[in-house]
Amino acid sequence: MSFATVRNLRLPALTPHATANLVQAAVLLAAFALLIGAATWPLIGGWSLLLAACAVAGIVALALRMPPQTVMRLYGARPQVSATMRQVEHLADNLARRAALPRPPRLFVVPSTMLSAFSAGTPQSAAIAVTEGLLRRLTMREIAGIFAREIGHIAQGDLTVLAIADLVSRAAQLMYYAGLALAALNLFHLVTGDELVSWWSVALLVLAPALLNLVQLGLSHTREFDADRAGALLTGDPMGLASAISRLEASTGTLAQDLIPPVPARRVPQPSMLRCPPPLQQRLARLHALEAPPMPPLDIAEGPRISLVGVGPIEMRQRYRWPGVWF
């Protein structure tokens, strides 16, 4: 099948999630604005409404305008153009053609032993990051499935709402630190006899990461199911993707980790709580139940794995990294 023919195939799994993404973005931003307003009202009164509006506008502007390369730098991902990545780049190019993307995404590698991948940008300018652990430990067939899932997210227009979710999480961390600072100020005022800051404000600010992460986790898992289906259709190999996702590390940590300093964040190795997948057995069952994909399977041969020369075990180990992401 030629790429021209592939481009003309309309895959139902790649239909943009315009309405669902708009609704989820609105819910996240409304919850964020409500939390800011409720936390700051006792401190600044009516100005809290203006603060909440400015914070929401800032997050939307950043989500729409931040280049994918900037997002990759925030997560320690490095662009890869070495000869050892040629096969992976060719694989990504073929999948982008199958998904009818305007141009293939740029590839980045995160120096971490975890098995994880994420994407950023828009269909016109996208980037995909994978960890070195994923490249070293998965087969090319499994890597194809992971790349296809991320290209599915790109083609379905999911990246803007995922970027908003990530920025809301980072803003919640700043609110957490502000709450700790106000709590320390209150303790000082208890000693000096000065007027206390509202404990209501302190509590809401400290609880901000937990509350906003609960909102994110409460949203539908439909997006991740659709990304699985898109990946299976694009590769023509549902079982290859099933093998890959059964090996990925999908721990979301615990609620307590939203409150534990120095970095309040769950152990989610992607830049968004909205990327937390549904239960593995449900995902595998859906992939096994798929009918024969319309795409022919990719012609994949195993090749050499990438090696990041100079990256030592300290940099590769799993840990919290600035700005509060587990890799």
Kind of pairing between the strands at 106-110 and 125-131: parallel
- How far is residue 243's CA from residue 287's CA, in Å, rounded to a whole number? 10
Q: Is residue 320 helix, strand or coil?
A: strand
Q: Is residue 315 domain-resident? A: no
Instruction: Tell me what percent of the residues of the chain surpass a pLDDT of 70.
Output: 85
Rounded Cα–Cα distance for residues 238 and 226 (Å): 13
Higher pLDDT, 61 or 78: 61
pTM (whole model) above 0.95: no
Of the candidates 150, 293, 283, the residue with the CA atom closest to the CA atom of residue 221? 283
Q: How many domains does the chain have?
A: 1
What's residue 102's pLDDT? 92
- Tell whether 303 is covered by a domain: no
Backbone angles phi, psi at 10, to 5 degrees: -100, 110
Give the separation between CA 79 and CA 308, rounded to whole angstroms: 11
Mean pLDDT of 38-63: 96
Structural domain includes residue 286: yes
| pLDDT, tens digit (0-9, with 9 covering 90-100), for 150-190 | 999 999 999 999 999 999 998 999 999 999 999 999 999 99
Is the pLDDT score of 292 beyond 80? no
**What's the mean pLDDT when you consider all of the chain?**
85
pLDDT for residue 119: 94
Over 90: is that where the pLDDT of 87 sits? no
- Higher-confidence position of 221 and 104: 104
- Let me know if residue 80 belongs to a domain: yes
Strand 117-122 to strand 78-79: parallel, antiparallel, or no bridges (unpaired)? unpaired
Query: Is residue 319 in a domain?
Result: no
Q: What are phi and psi of 164, to 5 degrees?
A: -60, -45
Question: In terms of residue numbers, what domain contains 264?
Answer: 3-293
Say if residues 237 and 139 touch (Cβ distance below 8 Å).
no
How far CA 51 is from CA of 36, 39, 66, 192, in Å, comes to 8, 11, 22, 30
Q: Is 304 left (phi over 0), alpha (psi -120 to 50) or beta?
A: beta
Torsions phi, psi of 129, nearest 5? -115, 135
- Whether 230 maps to a domain, the answer reads yes
Give the mean pLDDT of 242-248: 91
> Each residue of 99-142: pLDDT tens digit?
999 999 999 988 888 888 999 999 999 999 998 888 888 999 99
Confidence at 147, pLDDT banded by 50, 70, 90: very high
Q: Is residue 321 part of a domain?
A: no
Asked whether residue 243 is domain-assigned, the answer is yes
